[in-house]
């Protein structure tokens, strides 16, 4: 009994000690160190932090597209006034500052003021989606037939702008409406102006007591280090369009639903939602910037801000932003520049049809590795400079003659002329229609039935020619007869096998083209006649191919009949090069299985074109021997309502002849003949097989850690 009482007293004593400890601690917090704890955190909030976009390099590690740091003026919801009149004063002052420093603030309101007095307003053309949102229940809750005047009146009332002049009211309304559009909130900052000079930032920071909640944010901006190198291939970034935003919103919705159904964690689902596109986001626009968007776009982070009772703030990342991946392209920047310069030189000295307006000639070239489909250069003339986009964009758009923004190499299609003859030769030989002993006596005319005559190339009489000489001399009559014997179906079978008239599979946008034949002609409501077949056999009729297709066709001839899928992407690395995310291996689409003896006869004909025939003069003195086939096709161009007739010149070529490495395809619009394009190939060969070897390059795989 005594022992039991002793234990009870001991337990009671322990409880008293514990009570006194907590009482002392509470006294210390409430009285002794009250001032210190008053300074502790009283509120916090989290905001998303943008990540830098991944860089783009050429195959040797040369930077083509990078990022630079710049200033953005943003509104921080936690400190930005809630009173609308105070907001208006700040916004108007910022607008005036921007005007003073020549800075554009974000102005997306689809309403134009028709007169300075503000008596009449109109909707901006081609802004249907934005206008629809403006009238929606999410914004102004107006009828679908509401006018621009109705919308502006509602905006003025909503944002207390009655005391402002109309010209100022519409500017403030634009900012306020955009804040609503992007869901300005504690977790979503509003970007008022981008790429702002430091002088303007300093004024805002020095007057922080007035510009409450207006902050400077250091952000990455896209920098085109060599903006004139392959701009059509690189593409660029642009503000996301309403249509793109709606599409991406649906993708995010589907991704979240899929993640939930698969039992993904809350943090994984939060990451999907955090990285959803917002209305203020930029997105890849054209070229590789668009095609590789999912690799180049970084992953947003989360910054938590703690605010103490004195208004002081401390920041910390709960999720660090992750820069986008580095894209290594197959493009050789120096070879690309050599190709671009070669196009410009040829155009500037070309004997074009003098009836054509100056500046209407264009050209394109593609250079491909024949053993793996890597595109080493892809150039269009005239071209543009990505680094001068803001200054010169409208001039480029207005240039209807040259159309510098148009990618002629992948998006334009052309009647190939005599460059089509090698595939017809292969078809004839492989189908057993002709052989090495087959000859045709060319007297300058081909008589089809009894009443139709077709002239030979250059109206020449070539005499008796076999397939090799027919290619060398570009004898139409030989190929008229070969085409007649083959028939259009067998011609198309082999042209299709080489990839002509169909997309190649490159990462960027490309045209499909047209393979002449019964199917296409009938789809256009026409009828295919026997005479069309012999015309198709020499690259005329309805054939329309891209220069990219023609280069890949030439590469297939060069390597012995292996058709690769051409590509512009070599690899994708993490931003710090520590890991390889993707390696683009050579992809064989088809083995054509061409008999070596048949292929040799065609290749020998192309060798003669390069070294004895049409290209002999241009290729003289090169460090290697090449193979080639020229082509010419008639073209009619409509310029300012006037139709001009001329000839497009083409060339397909590969080198070295005995051990092929690269294939080249070229078009020069309005060239008198295909041979006039040979100097472009010669310049490229001279660089690739001579000057290139003298340069020190850093292969992309040496930068991987």
* Proportion of the chain above pLDDT 90, given as a percent: 73
Grade residue 29 by pLDDT with cuts at 50, 70 and 90: very low
Residue indicated by tokens 């290139």: 692
pLDDT of 601 higher than 70: yes
Q: Please write the tens of the pLDDT for every residue from 529-585.
A: 989 999 999 999 999 999 999 999 999 999 999 999 999 999 999 999 999 999 999
More confident residue, 219 or 59: 59
Q: What pLDDT sits at residue 400?
A: 85
Residue 269 phi/psi, 5° resolution?
Answer: -65, -40
As beta bridge partners, residue 642 has 639
Q: What pLDDT sits at residue 18?
A: 45
pLDDT of 685 higher than 70: yes
Average pLDDT value for residue range 230-255: 93
Q: Please write the tens of the pLDDT for every residue from 315-351.
A: 787 889 999 999 999 999 999 999 999 999 988 887 5
Q: Please write the tens of the pLDDT for every residue from 445-481.
A: 998 876 778 888 777 789 999 999 999 999 999 999 9
Indicate the SS3 state at residue 56.
strand
Least confident of 46-50, 165-169, 513-517: 46-50
Alpha-carbon distance values, 342 to 34, 53, 329, 390, 405 (Å):
78, 33, 22, 27, 19
- Helix 476-486 and helix 421-430: axis angle, to 10°? 50
pLDDT of 600 higher than 70: yes
Q: Please write the tens of the pLDDT for every residue from 628-683.
A: 999 998 877 766 777 767 788 999 999 999 999 999 999 998 766 666 789 999 99
Average pLDDT value for residue range 134-160: 96
Rg over alpha carbons for the chain, rounded to the nearest Å, is 34
Average pLDDT value for residue range 585-597: 96
- Strand pairing of 326-329 and 56-57? parallel
More confident residue, 701 or 507: 507
CA distance 466 to 600: 13
pLDDT of 700 higher than 50: no
* Proportion of the chain above pLDDT 70, given as a percent: 89
CA distance 267 to 471: 65
Q: How far apart are the first and last CA of the chain?
A: 77
pLDDT of 696 higher than 50: no
pLDDT of 14 higher than 70: no
Q: What is the DSSP letter of 111?
A: E
CA distance 400 to 357: 11
Average pLDDT value for residue range 494-506: 98
Q: What pLDDT sits at residue 353?
A: 52
Grade residue 360 by pLDDT with cuts at 50, 70 and 90: confident
Alpha-carbon distance values, 684 to 76, 336, 467 (Å):
54, 9, 29
Q: What pLDDT sits at residue 704?
A: 45
Number of H helices, E strands in the chain: 25, 25
């Amino acid at each position: 009994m005594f022992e039991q009482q002793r234990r009870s007293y001991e337990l009671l004593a322990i409880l008293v000690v514990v009570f006194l400890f907590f009482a002392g601690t509470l006294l210390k917090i409430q009285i002794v160190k009250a001032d210190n704890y008053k300074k502790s955190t009283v509120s916090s909030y989290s905001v998303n932090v943008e990540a830098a976009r991944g860089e783009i390099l050429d195959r040797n590690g040369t930077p083509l597209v990078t990022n630079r740091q710049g200033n953005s003026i943003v509104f921080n919801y936690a400190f930005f006034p809630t009173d609308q009149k105070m907001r208006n004063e700040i916004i108007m002052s910022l607008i005036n500052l921007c005007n003073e420093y020549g800075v554009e603030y974000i102005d997306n309101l689809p309403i134009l003021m028709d007169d300075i007095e503000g008596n009449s307003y109109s909707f901006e053309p081609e802004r249907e989606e934005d206008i629809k949102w403006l009238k929606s229940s999410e914004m102004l809750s107006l009828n679908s037939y509401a006018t621009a005047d109705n919308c502006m009146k509602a905006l003025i009332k909503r944002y207390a702008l009655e005391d402002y002049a109309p010209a100022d009211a519409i500017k403030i309304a634009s900012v306020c409406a955009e804040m609503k559009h992007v869901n300005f909130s504690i977790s979503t900052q509003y970007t008022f102006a981008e790429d702002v000079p430091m002088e303007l930032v300093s004024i805002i920071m020095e007057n922080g007591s007035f510009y409450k909640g207006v902050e400077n944010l250091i952000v990455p901006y896209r920098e085109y280090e060599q903006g004139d190198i392959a701009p059509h291939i690189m593409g660029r970034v642009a503000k996301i369009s309403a249509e793109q935003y709606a599409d991406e919103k649906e993708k995010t919705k589907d991704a979240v639903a899929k993640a939930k159904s698969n039992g993904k964690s809350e943090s994984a689902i939060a990451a999907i939602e955090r990285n959803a596109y917002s209305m203020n986001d930029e997105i890849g626009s054209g070229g590789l910037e668009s095609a590789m968007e999912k690799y180049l776009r970084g992953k947003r982070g989360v910054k938590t801000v703690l605010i103490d009772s004195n208004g002081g703030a401390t920041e910390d990342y709960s999720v660090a932003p992750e820069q986008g991946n580095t894209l290594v392209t197959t493009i050789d920047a120096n070879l690309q520049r050599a190709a671009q310069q070669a196009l410009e030189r040829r155009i500037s000295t070309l004997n074009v049809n003098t009836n054509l307006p100056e500046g209407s000639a264009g050209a394109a070239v593609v250079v491909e590795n024949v053993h793996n489909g890597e595109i080493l250069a892809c150039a269009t003339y005239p071209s543009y400079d990505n680094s001068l986009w803001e200054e010169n964009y409208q001039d480029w758009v207005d240039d209807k003659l040259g159309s510098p923004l148009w990618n002629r190499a992948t998006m334009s299609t052309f009647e190939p002329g005599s460059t089509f003859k090698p595939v017809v030769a292969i078809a004839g030989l492989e189908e057993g229609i002709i052989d090495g002993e087959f000859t045709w006596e060319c007297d300058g005319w081909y008589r089809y039935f009894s009443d139709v005559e077709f002239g030979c190339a250059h109206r020449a009489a070539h005499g008796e020619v076999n397939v090799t000489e027919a290619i060398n001399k570009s004898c139409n009559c030989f190929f008229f007869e070969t085409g007649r014997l083959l028939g259009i179906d067998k011609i198309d079978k082999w042209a299709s096998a080489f990839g002509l008239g169909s997309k190649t599979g490159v990462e960027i946008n490309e045209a499909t083209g047209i393979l002449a034949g019964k199917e296409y002609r009938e789809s256009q409501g026409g009828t295919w006649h026997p005479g069309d077949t012999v015309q198709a056999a020499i690259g005329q009729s309805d054939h329309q191919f891209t220069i990219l297709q023609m280069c890949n066709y030439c590469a297939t001839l060069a390597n012995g009949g292996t058709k690769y899928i051409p590509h512009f992407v070599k690899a994708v690395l993490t931003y710090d090069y520590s890991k390889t995310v993707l390696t683009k291996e050579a992809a064989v689409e088809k083995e054509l299985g061409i008999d070596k003896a048949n292929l040799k006869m065609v290749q020998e004909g192309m060798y003669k074109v390069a070294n004895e025939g049409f290209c002999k003069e241009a290729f003289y003195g090169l460090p290697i021997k090449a193979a080639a086939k020229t082509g010419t096709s008639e073209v009619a161009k409509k310029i300012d309502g006037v139709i001009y007739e001329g000839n497009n010149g083409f060339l397909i070529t590969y080198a070295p002849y005995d051990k092929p490495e690269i294939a080249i395809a070229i078009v020069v619009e309005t060239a008198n003949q295909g041979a006039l394009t040979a100097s472009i190939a010669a310049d490229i060969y001279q660089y690739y097989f001579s000057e290139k070897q003298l340069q020190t390059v850093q292969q992309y795989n040496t930068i991987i850690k």
